[in-house]
Structure 1
């Protein structure tokens, strides 16, 4: 698959040379759009139904010699309203894929052994099958089922997690004689999280002997501790790792309880010794997030991701390495002006590869981890990949390069090979190529705008199929959530820019203040300034694009979710006639009531602050959408999930009620069983239909 060079295009506009953490701007004039538009092949437009027919690819692992890739494909079944996932094997050098598993359900690879045996988890049990000549064999029959499994390097122990009842918050647990009651009783915060009420059960790591599928008596290594490991709500097996000698393991936990838990991000790495049963905190005195522990292949170094500030979930994410033998520790990315998404070790222990957002994309970088780093206290960081794509994960390393997962705004994730010598991506899996070959192409282009404070503001612009600069098109301003989440070349199965463009809309997605990839200062600027410069960035971006002759200024809408939904609510009161239609999904409408009902208080405390503190008055006045409702006069569609505890239901209901009482054309789409997202396939189809029906009604 041909991929146009993002860096090549960017050099035409604002070439940035990265050298030892410094950026040297080199301005070069950008050619006009008309000179770059090429004739696009005709095809059918992408529809919501076609979007959900695409296979969702997950890279699962590599054979020991790096010649074979095991990957998963999830396919949504409309009739059953569920997905089915199976595993496949394909040569890394290219060739036909062959099915590896075909059971009803979902299989996930645990490990690939030297002899080609693949251990995978299926319906809560461990199964085994050889890559070349094996048959499916169930190894375990553990009564409670297994989750987040990690088998020790010597194969003699197994680590997994399960929930343990430690607090009797739910009435049937507290009052055994009232089994049909359904009451929750709390004395602290952390009473609910994401989309689930706290029932007093805490995820804990368990360790047991393991031999040929037989699991011995499991020991809870956090016995009686009311803390979570893996982390809630999204932690998994990446929160566990074994030492090379199999004598100890590391788990991630935030050992805080109740109200203190809800206000802190201070997770730590705990080392548990199998022989003594003793636990040591390896990150004592490091107050922010410490996550993703990984030993180097030789076991001599331990790496993990770390944030400095307690309570700041979007802080700069650095890579720390620690040498257990000498107790030495160093921050590899301390002087690098960026934040790390994920990392992995090279097979020879000399290099760490990591992914990070940069200039509207996500790319791979490398760090030299040889002895010199201990003396210089700074690592040599080199960019490896560059192009008009996102690298979404590093699967593994071969002698010739890296196996990666990658995506663009117009192609769902597939697995690729990146060659160290030619610096190019070569596609390995082709799950959705046939589907995309029948779709009309949508052009994606980078655009720079001068923000209101004079700084350069980058946006992605997505054009409809067969775009003609001589015609006029309606425009959607996409407002990203987070607020400190990057708008890169990722592929969404709901907020899909290719789908929006395929319905005839130009989409502009600005990299406004608060987005990683443009330096730590740019990323941090949004905290305590939600309604300030970032909102001005959105207005600057849409005003700049509106100067183009092909933009229909009478048909412009603003759309977004979460902080993006908040942005839409804010824009509703300050846009001064720019927008003819608005769509907000799970947006924050009244900052006071939101602060009083959201669950992760560390986020609210850092970015907004408590409403009773006069120092935060601006967040609850000038930057509070409810304070600008007097100027609402634009049709608005409001989506709200019933199980969204991050932005609780009252936010959407308050906004809809205000619009209705103001006489503003408005519609509420309430999804009682959905959380902050829309996970059900049928519900997602309703979401898409309401989304595009509203635009058709209001952008006439």
Structure 2
């Protein structure tokens, strides 16, 4: 085994694979490969062609720097992808659609979409493409859209003005005055038309994409998801509609104020539409379930007896008797095949963490990762899944990795709780080791056997820490009751679970009880702030709070402000005491533990005033604290050099408070 430390430099030297698209015959896969350069602080994405039959991979594009989202045409003659390029004397101001001949040649712009391309799907004729673009709804032609965009970009004013409830999301504002429409592009003529022009229909305003529309096998109809409410809100229930491409008529297929519908997918025969359905009328935390609609307008939930949440996309098997999807189970994400007759889900590919897949021509390809390796591509065969690329193997082979282990604790309410452990390379159980809790965000997500680019377990473990990840009450993949158990009482059960993890760790002979730390981001940041006000000082030597929620009243500045009262059980003006009882700031007088606070100014999910208020409170009370504030980062740290600084500050802070690691391995520089 190599002794070379896997650090932030090695992390950013790895290539990142995008979602795969299979050729119609299943013999080849196209996917984007993104590489980063630490010195230039830039990334570059190209398309690569991988063979499912054992041939060598081939790089397809080199001219662009952001080539992505590739899809094979149904006839196999072209690969369409989204890029910004300069071609024919025109430089793309907005992302455009390009076509690359699969038999060789240069990519060409398929047509000009003034407002840019977000996502797309081929029609079966391999000539037309349906795409998503943010347009001004009052303008019906592309010429009018181009003029409106030009005028908007040339304006001298900088204010964002709105009367909408939903106006920003994650790290960007909803384009002012624009809505996401479906457009039709003819790749031969380059003509582009707005399919929603004059209708009032639009896709969801939060990350509209492939999961919000589908093309029928005949190519005559489109199914799409829309919000029927006049006032667009994050938590609104969505409906399903169908557009006839010939007549332009739109028919609402399903609309129910208690049900949220999404991710439509036509069967190969075109007689059924699969989709996701969540019964929000029962509770806002209800899981996404697999449902099917027939041509008579009858629909039914098929996975109701399976206590797991189904994840888009949905893909029908060739015989239309089963449907594939990914879903979490016990802290892992698998590829499942759901039999429609028996209504049983069977694992087709076992994670780790299966994040994306495609199925065509009798082949199934999966993009998957693990604590032990970043995303890789494998094709499913009758035996063991077979890898079809080795793009990161040389770098991985030159570095040391620690093993990971799953343990089960007795947590809050006497329930079993999962905890993952990642050990330092060359872990010696006869020596004492520092332990670092990494508390996940969400709260309704889970830490699993997965590769994390921003909070990388192997980078942490390579510094000599045993990394502990507790999937506390509220985490996904353990059933709805477990996920919903924390609703209206945030902080209580989660803290008991993390503390149970610490109790378990303290019983291990290899744990240094004087060098235990707790770190977390987003809801994990909320948890370490909560712990600072509820756990006796000294049990944890220090905390790291990244993008942490601190004050639930002030959190009304978040992009999800209409969602939080559902989780907390009240709005702050209706029941201020109840809301405050779940807020770390209420317990500020008990803060004693040194804390590193990290936040990005472009974070709209947890606005940076949360981190600044927490840091200021610590400083005002004389608690040792350090602030790392990024003016150009969002909820995550995405730029290579900022990430290097993040890890440097992170490890320097831990070293300051728990001392150097005992592993004897190279230390990170502050």
Structure-1 residue corresponding to 2:75 = 114
- Counterpart CA distance in 2 for 1:143 and 1:516 is 39
Quote how far apart the aligned CAs of 1:188 are.
4.3
Structure-2 residue corresponding to 1:366 = 337
Partner of residue 219 from structure 1, selected from 194, 200, 206:
194
Structure-2 residue corresponding to 1:142 = 112
- Counterpart CA distance in 1 for 2:138 and 2:175 is 8
- Counterpart CA distance in 2 for 1:289 and 1:416 is 33
Partner of residue 335 from structure 1, selected from 305, 311, 335:
305
- Corresponding residue SS for 2:602: coil
Structure 2-normalised TM-score?
A: 0.89
- Corresponding residue SS for 1:89: strand
Q: How big is each residue's C-alpha offset from its partner over 1:459-490, in whole Å with a ceiling of 9 and x where there is no partner?
A: 11000010000011111111110010021112
- Corresponding residue SS for 1:490: coil
Structure-2 residue corresponding to 1:271 = 242
Aligned-CA RMSD value:
2.5
- Corresponding residue SS for 2:254: coil
Structure 2 residue 658 is the aligned partner of structure 1 residue 682: no
Structure-2 residue corresponding to 1:651 = 610
- C-alpha distance 685-289 of structure 1, shift in aligned 2 (>3 A): farther
Structure-2 residue corresponding to 1:293 = 264
Quote how far apart the aligned CAs of 1:47 are.
0.7
- Say if 2:111 and 2:191, in contact at 8 Å, map to a contact too: no
- Counterpart CA distance in 2 for 1:90 and 1:198 is 36
- Say if 1:263 and 1:605, in contact at 8 Å, map to a contact too: no
- Corresponding residue SS for 2:414: coil
- Counterpart CA distance in 2 for 1:99 and 1:188 is 45
Q: How big is each residue's C-alpha offset from its partner over 1:361-414, in whole Å with a ceiling of 9 and x where there is no partner?
A: 111221123xxx4xxxx7122233335x22112222554x63111110121000
- C-alpha distance 364-469 of structure 1, shift in aligned 2 (>3 A): same
- Counterpart CA distance in 2 for 1:483 and 1:70 is 34
Structure-1 residue corresponding to 2:478 = 518
- Counterpart CA distance in 1 for 2:28 and 2:175 is 44
- Say if 1:204 and 1:221, in contact at 8 Å, map to a contact too: no
Quote how far apart the aligned CAs of 1:668 are.
1.0
- Say if 1:464 and 1:505, in contact at 8 Å, map to a contact too: yes
- C-alpha distance 122-189 of structure 1, shift in aligned 2 (>3 A): closer
Structure-2 residue corresponding to 1:551 = 511
- Counterpart CA distance in 2 for 1:265 and 1:289 is 8
Structure-1 residue corresponding to 2:371 = 409
Structure-1 residue corresponding to 2:380 = 418
- Counterpart CA distance in 1 for 2:408 and 2:53 is 38
Structure 2 residue 622 is the aligned partner of structure 1 residue 663: yes
Structure-1 residue corresponding to 2:208 = 235
Quote how far apart the aligned CAs of 1:640 are.
1.3
- Counterpart CA distance in 2 for 1:492 and 1:515 is 17
Structure 2 residue 221 is the aligned partner of structure 1 residue 248: yes
Q: How big is each residue's C-alpha offset from its partner over 1:95-121, in whole Å with a ceiling of 9 and x where there is no partner?
A: 421222222323231224334433333
Structure-2 residue corresponding to 1:449 = 409
- Say if 2:206 and 2:234, in contact at 8 Å, map to a contact too: no
Quote how far apart the aligned CAs of 1:416 are.
0.9
After superposition, residues 499-510 of structure 1 pair within 5 angstroms as 499-510=459-470
Structure-1 residue corresponding to 2:143 = none
- Corresponding residue SS for 1:384: strand
Structure-2 residue corresponding to 1:13 = none
- Counterpart CA distance in 1 for 2:282 and 2:173 is 22
Q: Which moved more, 1:283-292 or 1:485-494?
A: 283-292
Structure 2 residue 10 is the aligned partner of structure 1 residue 50: yes
Structure-2 residue corresponding to 1:262 = 233
Structure-2 residue corresponding to 1:8 = none
Structure 2 residue 600 is the aligned partner of structure 1 residue 627: no
Structure 2 residue 361 is the aligned partner of structure 1 residue 391: no
Q: Which moved more, 1:68-77 or 1:558-567?
A: 68-77
Quote how far apart the aligned CAs of 1:510 are.
0.9
- Counterpart CA distance in 2 for 1:51 and 1:217 is 42
Q: Which moved more, 1:656-665 or 1:519-528?
A: 519-528
Q: Which ranges in structure 1 are unaligned for 5 or more consecutive residues?
A: 1-40
- Say if 1:125 and 1:138, in contact at 8 Å, map to a contact too: no
- C-alpha distance 619-311 of structure 1, shift in aligned 2 (>3 A): farther
Q: How big is each residue's C-alpha offset from its partner over 1:547-605, in whole Å with a ceiling of 9 and x where there is no partner?
A: 101111111111011111000100111121320010011111111211x3122234212
Structure-1 residue corresponding to 2:289 = 318
- C-alpha distance 454-101 of structure 1, shift in aligned 2 (>3 A): same
Quote how far apart the aligned CAs of 1:236 are.
1.5
Quote how far apart the aligned CAs of 1:491 are.
1.1
- Say if 2:520 and 2:544, in contact at 8 Å, map to a contact too: yes
Q: How big is each residue's C-alpha offset from its partner over 1:445-467, in whole Å with a ceiling of 9 and x where there is no partner?
A: 01111114222111110000100
Structure-2 residue corresponding to 1:197 = 173
- Counterpart CA distance in 2 for 1:601 and 1:228 is 22
Structure-2 residue corresponding to 1:535 = 495
- C-alpha distance 312-598 of structure 1, shift in aligned 2 (>3 A): farther
Structure-2 residue corresponding to 1:5 = none
- Corresponding residue SS for 1:201: coil
Structure 1-normalised TM-score?
A: 0.86
- Counterpart CA distance in 1 for 2:260 and 2:25 is 35
Q: How big is each residue's C-alpha offset from its partner over 1:298-318, in whole Å with a ceiling of 9 and x where there is no partner?
A: 222211122110696653011
Quote how far apart the aligned CAs of 1:606 are.
1.5
- C-alpha distance 384-110 of structure 1, shift in aligned 2 (>3 A): closer
Partner of residue 564 from structure 2, selected from 574, 581, 604:
604
The number of aligned residues is 635
- Counterpart CA distance in 2 for 1:208 and 1:128 is 15
Quote how far apart the aligned CAs of 1:139 are.
5.0
Quote how far apart the aligned CAs of 1:502 are.
0.5
- C-alpha distance 74-209 of structure 1, shift in aligned 2 (>3 A): closer
Partner of residue 181 from structure 1, selected from 143, 157, 165:
157
Structure-1 residue corresponding to 2:322 = 351
Partner of residue 585 from structure 1, selected from 525, 546, 565:
546
Partner of residue 524 from structure 2, selected from 564, 572, 576:
564
Structure-2 residue corresponding to 1:97 = 57
After superposition, residues 124-163 of structure 1 pair within 5 angstroms as 124-131=95-102, 133-142=103-112, 144=114, 145-155=116-126, 157-163=128-134
- Counterpart CA distance in 2 for 1:126 and 1:188 is 30
- Counterpart CA distance in 2 for 1:126 and 1:311 is 42
Q: Which moved more, 1:188-197 or 1:404-413?
A: 188-197
- Say if 1:486 and 1:516, in contact at 8 Å, map to a contact too: yes
Quote how far apart the aligned CAs of 1:143 are.
5.2
- C-alpha distance 157-452 of structure 1, shift in aligned 2 (>3 A): closer
